[in-house]
Amino acid sequence: MEPAVFWHTCLTICIFFSGFMVSCHQTENPNQVSLSSNFLFGTASSYYQYEGAFLSDGKGLSNWDVFTHEAGHVKDGSNGDVAVDHYHRYLVMLSLFLFFLNASKIK
């Protein structure tokens, strides 16, 4: 794993989560919506976006690969060939997962 990729990914995740801390900060402005203490925020991505690896190692095409590569199906012509790309970045993602898992134990 390249150190530059690892630290770039760490920085991106830190910036992402720090944005939530700022946006959820309560103020005295009554026009701002405050979230209840039991509010849960979630994210999701599809298998197609998550896996990546378009045509890597003999993976083959999925139905969605074929659909997004045919002209006229997607307005801007984009596709998810490289989105989350877990196939090529699993070591970075695993190390970040373990880092955050261990960081949660620090009190």
Polymer length in residues for the chain: 107
Nearest to 51 by CA among 9, 13, 93: 93
Main-chain phi, psi angles of 57, to 5 degrees: 50, 35
pTM confidence score? 0.44
Query: What pLDDT, on a 0 to 100 scale, did the predictor assign at position 61?
Result: 82
- 68-105 pLDDT, tens digit per residue, is 889 999 889 888 787 777 778 888 878 888 887 777 67
Q: Which residue has the tokens 């700022």?
A: 22
> What is 39-107 written as a DSSP string?
--------HHHHH--TT-TT----HHHHHHHSTTSSTT----SSSS-HHHHHHHHHHHHHHHHHHTT--
Query: What pLDDT, on a 0 to 100 scale, did the predictor assign at position 25?
Result: 52
- 6-45 pLDDT, tens digit per residue, is 766 766 776 666 655 555 555 566 567 777 888 888 887 7
Query: What pLDDT, on a 0 to 100 scale, did the predictor assign at position 70?
Result: 92
